[in-house]
Each structure stands twice: as structure tokens, then as C-alpha cells.
Amino acid sequence: MRPVVIAHRGASGYLPEHTFPAKALAHAMGADYLEQDVVATRDDELVVLHDIHLDSVTDVATRYPGRARADGRFYARDFDLSEVRQLQVHERTNADGSPVYPGRFASGAEPFRVHTFAEELGFVQSLQKAHGHSVGIYPEIKRPAWHRKEGVDVTPQFLRILGDFGYRAHSDPVYVQCFDAAELRRIRRKFNCRLKLIQLIGENSWRESATNYAVLRGRRGLERLAKTVDGIGPWVNRLYRLRRRDGQIRSTGLVERAHGAGLAVHPYTFRVDEIPEGFASFDALLTFCFDELSIDGVFTDFPDRILQFLRRNSGKHASNP
Ligand code: CA
């Protein structure tokens, strides 16, 4: 089976992340899955946003001055949906306002908006109907434990919305992803969810959740994970080791261990404008990951570039059924 191409926040290498235009472009490019990140507003509405903060991708600081918390950040949880809808979405910026990826879409004049999770699932259905070709979804529950501390349990509502749109069975074209291992166990056991689940694996230093990622990357950790989830989403930098002396790149064994445990491997994030250290080109990275490691899919900001590579090497990567 050909590896799956997951449009990370849409075709976010070309248009501002998580906007409908970015999702439509990814679908037109032929991505297999469109990704959604889900956070809650003050009135408990689920919206599609990568961060629990609004300030990196919207004009919240100028539209609602004085609404930041003590840390200077503007939290989606402190705004009602009607307020979030007023915000203008732009390309991701650093705290000083400079673009995170300087070569990308830079206008900032378009009325791009934040939308709800349900609106996005409706949009995906309309796109499929109009185009006649299907696309999967790949939603992530962001910071579930943090949300509970803020007084909202995101997961039941998230699963209810998926069910409303017909996503219920293991064979449905959906992967549910989360960094929090306890939440994924809860989803599988307490909520008896049949959907495919992906454990995201980060660095403990990122403080995404209470999960110990160093343990998950080991053989036993992966075997234990396989009782709950269908696959892992590791950071691409954890797939290889770079020998600085001669620049040689070797597998860390993570993909092999995961495959040994029966888990699919969908690493993140493949960006043409941010190639991991040690690879001479984007193609060199893809050649290593697909040909040597046999990964099962990728999160990418540039779905077209991955699909072009897979087509060029279609002898090696059998087409998806
Ligand atoms: Ca995500």
C-alpha cells in the first residue's frame, strides 16, 4: 500500500494553516487525509486551531487588547465563538510579528477566519461531493488535561461530532490523534471508540502532556501502546541518527520497533522550507524515510511535493487501493 499523505493543517505550506482555502487546496492536490487540531472556546465550542493561544495566527492582540492572561498570551478558552469569528487569520508569526516561515503566503489582507470542528467536517463532505473523490480526516484533540483544568472535557463532544458526521467504525477514513496517552486509553476504553487511533510522540521537554515519551519509544512502550492504538506519530528527528564525523544517517530503530509491535508510523512534519539536519534535500529525506525506513505515511505542509515524489517512485511504492 502506498504511504498516506496527511495535509498538516491543510496545504499549510501555501496558505494560512487551518483555513478553508488551505484545506480545499490540499484536497485538490490529492492529499489522503486533512488534519484538524481541536481546541475549546469559552462557550465550550470546538474550533479548529493548532494552539490553545490565538495570538500566533490571528489579529487578536489588536482586536481585543487587554484580554491576554498574565503570561501575555491570548487563550481561545477566554473568548466566545462569536468573538473568535471576528478574528482575521494570517500566516503564523513569531512573538515579534515576523513570519515563522518567511517564504510563505504573506499578504495578511484576506478575511480568513477560524471555523468550528463541525463546520470543517461539513466542508469536507461538501468538497467530496463536488469533487467526487474522497478524503479522510485526521483530527487531534489538543491538550485534553489542560482543557479539563479549564473546566471543559473536550473528548465526549469531539467524539459526538465525529459520530454525527458518520465517523464511527474502525474502517472509516479517520485517524484520531493525541499526544496524551492516558486520553487515548480513555477514548478506546471508557468511550469504547472504534476509530483508528494515533499516539503522537513528542519530547518530554515540550510539556505537551504528562505522558513519558522516552518510555513510549522503547520496545516495551510500543508493545503496550499497540494494545490501544493503531499507530504512532513520532517527530521525524527521532527516526534517524546523524554521524557528524562523516554525515552518515542511520535509523534509530524506532520505525522498526514500531512495525515489530504492529503499529503504523506517520512521522511529522515534512516541510520543504525546514529540512531536518543532515539531509541534503527534501528528496533525500523522503528517499531515506520511504525507501529505507518504509514509513506508512507523513504529516506534511506540502502534500503536492510528497505525492510527486511517490509518483516518480511508483514502482517502489505500490498505489493505494
Ligand atoms: Ca496537529
- Which CATH number is 126's domain given? 3.20.20.190
* SS3 assignment, position 104: coil
Total domains in the fold of the chain: 1
Q: Residue 131 is part of which domain span?
A: 4-52+113-312
Q: How far is the CA of 37 from the centre of ligand 1 (A)?
A: 5
Q: How far is the CA of 245 from the centre of ligand 1 (A)?
A: 34
pLDDT at 108: 76
Q: In this structure, is residue 318 part of a structural domain?
A: no
Residue 228 within a domain: yes
Residues 6+ positions from 264 with CB-CB distance below 8 Å:
198, 230, 231, 232, 258, 296, 297
CA-wise closest residue to 217 among 241, 200, 197, 196? 200
Peptide bond into 269 cis (omega under 30): yes
- pTM here is 0.96
Within a domain: 44: yes
In the prediction, which pLDDT does 239 show?
Answer: 98
Q: Can you give the three-state secondary structure of 126-147, one letter per residue? A: HHHHHHCCCCEEEEEECCHHHH
In angstroms, the first-to-last Cα distance of the chain is: 7
For the chain (321 residues), the mean pLDDT of every run of 10, in chain order, is: 96 98 97 98 98 97 97 98 98 94 88 97 95 94 98 98 98 98 98 98 96 98 98 98 96 98 98 97 98 98 98 71 41
Whether 97 is in a domain gets the answer no
Q: What pLDDT was estimated at residue 318?
A: 54
Q: Which H or E run includes 305?
A: helix 303-312
List residues with catalytic annotation: 8, 50
CA 138 to ligand 1 centroid distance, Å: 9
In a domain, 98, yes or no: no
Of 149, 209, 147, 218, the C-alpha closest to 179 is 209
For residue 95, is it within any domain?
A: no
Q: Which three cell numbers stand for residue 177?
A: 490523534
Distance 29 CA to ligand 1 centre (A): 20
Instruction: For residue 299, tell me if it sits in a domain.
Output: yes
Closest listed residue to residue 51, CA positions, set 99, 18, 15, 97: 18
103, part of any domain? no
Grid cell for residue 227: 494494545
Handedness of CA 277, 282, 288, 290 (dihedral sign): positive
Quote the CA–CA distance of 124 and 105 in Å, as a whole number: 23
Q: How far is ligand 1, taken at its centre, from the CA of residue 113, in Å? A: 18
The alpha carbon of 141 and the centre of ligand 1 are apart by a number of angstroms equal to: 8
